[in-house]
Amino acid sequence: MAEKVYGMTTGRRVGNGVLTVVMNTIMIIFSLSCIFPLVWMFYSSLKVKREFNADIIGLPPNPTFENYAKILTNKDYHIADSLINSVRTTALSVALILLFGFVVGYILARVKFRGNRVIWIMLLMGMLIPVHSLLVPIYIVFNRTGMNNQWYTLLFPYIAFGMPIAVFLIHGYLKAVPVALEEAASIDGSSFSGTLFKIIMPICKPVMVTIAIIQTFACWNEFSFALVLLRDVGLHTVPLAMTQFTGQFSSDYPKIMSAMLITMAPIVVLYFGFSKNIIKGMVAGVVKG
Amino acid sequence: MLTRRPPLRILIGYLLIPLALYVFAVFIPLITAAFYSMFEWKGGPNKTFTGIANYIALIQDKIFWLSFSHNLYLILLCVIGQVGVAFVFVMMINTRFVKLKSIHRTFGFFPSTIAAVYVGFIWLMIYDSRRGILNWFLELIGREDLTQVWLNNTDLVMTLVSIPLIWQYIGYYMLILLSATSSIDKEIFESAELDGANAFQRSIHIVLPMIKNTVIVCLVLCVSGNMKAFDNIYVMTAGGPGNNSMVLAMYGYKVSFAQQNMGYGSAISVGIFVLGLLVIGGMQLVSNKLSKD
């Protein structure tokens, strides 16, 4: 209905035409700028160094996967290692954030006990603390206890930093779940733990997915704590391995681009495969958190 | 709340491990930092108690305050460049004129999902003086006189390291604001369109108040996010040239690890903690005031 009325006001058509072109152009330039680095890096990674230095923007004259082959086969680059480290660290951190966040969030939401508020405030403080003030002290503590530079080192900060938001999201979600459900289960003879994992956990699935999405990206991309806590190159996660790699080959752009694309691949595939759900999850986490 | 409380040992069993881990990774380091900040300590076995000497030095430390001012500058640029621009984009996407909406969402959000380290590398390649796209482009349009070694420009460097951050998160805030406007009746946007010339201004007057709370959430996120800027600056300039792009986290890292000055580094960490709480706390106060009106 509104469109018909709109079409009839011929005087404004020209003005709207200009506006349409301007607005679409701005948005298209923005969208292209977001995706351009990925495209540019991909076709440039198919060049060799000499070809790239001669023409940084043109398409590869003789496309080759030489760079990829070298990076994946050369053990000294530690790119394959770093992928394994990142996958392991991210998977374990996210799984434990989900488990801990769920259990703590549930207990804080449903069980009345003396420490309830204290724990709540502690977690809230964790959300407000500027995490980078912990960078140096966490190194000192982990160094003292001999817990730095281990395969499990990063699990501690990642779980600790991810837990508060997970607890708050679970807590908020449970407000809409009636207690009568658990009371009924209890009358039917279900234990506390049984109710927790068999009845409540499946109900919380949507919010658990939100938490998993947010934390997967957060853990995979985290850099600064990995930087201070890990020394051995064999333990490095992806962002850390990349800083080493670029330092080593700072003049060979196609090689750097290939390594970047290889180590970005899991997250890029994940994003473009499930972009709708991922955006929804990230936004929900922000708006509700 | 449950009427029948589960046995205490079950509660403790469930809470002990998560909370112990949390205290170990968050609170123990904080206390440790407060402790070591009162020592002259180079990370080795010897340390000397110096009381508040580190804090006196910190208050007089020009680089520390310069770094803080850079964080504030970054916040200013990002509030305008991320939240401000995102808002304008949202207003445009909500009109019927703009096509390809779902592409803009998917592509626009993408940069915020990759690591800040990678964004830093990408922009390093853009700014590169010999093989960079920026200088290539300037040559292309015949302005060779403007080409330079960008990241060595002491006046521009702080702005240049801010641009990647702004670019990375415009889409992020755009999607958050879009989700807030999605509950607004589409007729509001369209009635504003029909009015023609000042449509934009009108939609701001109508729409902005309706999504005020989400805008405030975005501002809080933007401010706290930029107080901890580190990753992309670490890979792009490491705070240089000189200290022209030094930010708080970078300075704390440099003093503690590059100069091995752990005692003073701990004092800087406490300083970052206090300044961070002040800025974020101040922001919360302002936002509480705003959202009450």
Percent of chain A past pLDDT 90, that is, above it, reads: 57
Q: How far is CA A84 from CA A87, A91, A213, A226, in A?
A: 5, 11, 19, 15
The beta-carbon neighbor of B194 closest among A6, A31, A220 is A6
Would you tell me which residues 201-220 of chain B have a C-beta closer than 8 angstroms to some C-beta of chain A?
Answer: 214, 217
Burial of A189 (0-12, 13-18, 19+ CB in 10 A): exposed
Contact status of B24 with chain A (Cβ, < 8 Å): yes
Quick check: A173 contacting B, CB < 8 Å? Answer: no
pLDDT of residue B160: 95
Residue B126: per-residue pLDDT: 92
Closest of B91, B99, B83 to residue B189, by C-alpha: B91
Chain B residue nearest residue A257, CA to CA: B122
Residue B194 exposure: Cα atoms within 13 Å on the Cβ side: 14
Among A6, A27, A229, the residue to mutate for chain B (most B Cβ within 10 A): A27
- For the domain covering B51-292, report its CATH number: 1.10.3720.10
pLDDT for the residue numbered A27: 94
What average pLDDT score do residues A41-57 get?
90
A163 to chain B: which residues are within 8 Å by CB? 18, 22
| pLDDT at residue A4 in the model | 43
Measure the CA–CA gap between B154 and B149, rounded to whole angstroms: 11
CA distance, residue A12 to nearest chain B CA (Å): 7
Q: Is the pLDDT of residue A276 over 60?
A: yes
B153 in A contact zone (CB under 8 Å): no
Across the interface, whether the CB atoms of A31 and B103 are under 8 A apart is answered: yes
To the nearest whole Å, the CA of B154 is away from the closest chain A CA by: 22
| CA atoms of A96 and B235, how far apart (whole Å) | 30
Evaluate if residue A2 carries a pLDDT over 70.
no
Residue B89, helix vs strand vs coil: helix
Q: What is the pLDDT of residues B233-253, one digit of tens each?
A: 999 999 889 899 999 999 999
Q: Which amino acid is at A176?
A: A
Q: B2 falls in which pLDDT band (50, 70, 90)?
A: confident
Nearest CA in chain A to B136: A56
Is the pLDDT at A91 greater than 90? The verdict is yes
- Could you check whether the bond before residue B7 is cis, i.e. omega within 30 degrees of 0? no
DSSP secondary structure letter of residue B129: T
In this complex, do A286 and B176 lie within 8 Å of one another by their Cβ atoms? yes
**Which residues of chain A from 50 to 79 reach within 8 Å of chain B, CB to CB?**
52-53, 56-57
Class in CATH terms, A70-288: mainly alpha
Q: Given B4, B29, B193, which is nearest A134 (Cβ)? A: B29
Q: Angle A13-A19-A22 (CA atoms, 0-180°, nearest 5)?
A: 145
How far, in Å, CA of B81 to CA of B94, rounded?
20
A228 pLDDT above the threshold of 90: yes
A10 in contact with B at a CB cutoff of 8 Å?
no
Q: Which residues of A touch B256 (CB under 8 A)?
A: 135-136, 139
Q: Where are the domains of chain A?
A: 2-68, 70-288
User: What average pLDDT does this structure show over B89-98?
Assistant: 85
Whether the ipTM is more than 0.95: the answer is no
Q: Select from A133, A159, A138, A289 the least CA-distant residue to A218.
A: A159
Backbone dihedral region for residue A65 (phi beyond 0: left; psi -120 to 50: alpha; all else: beta): alpha
- Is residue A108 exposed (0-12), middle (13-18) or buried (19+ Cβ within 10 Å)? buried
| Mean pLDDT within B73-101 | 90
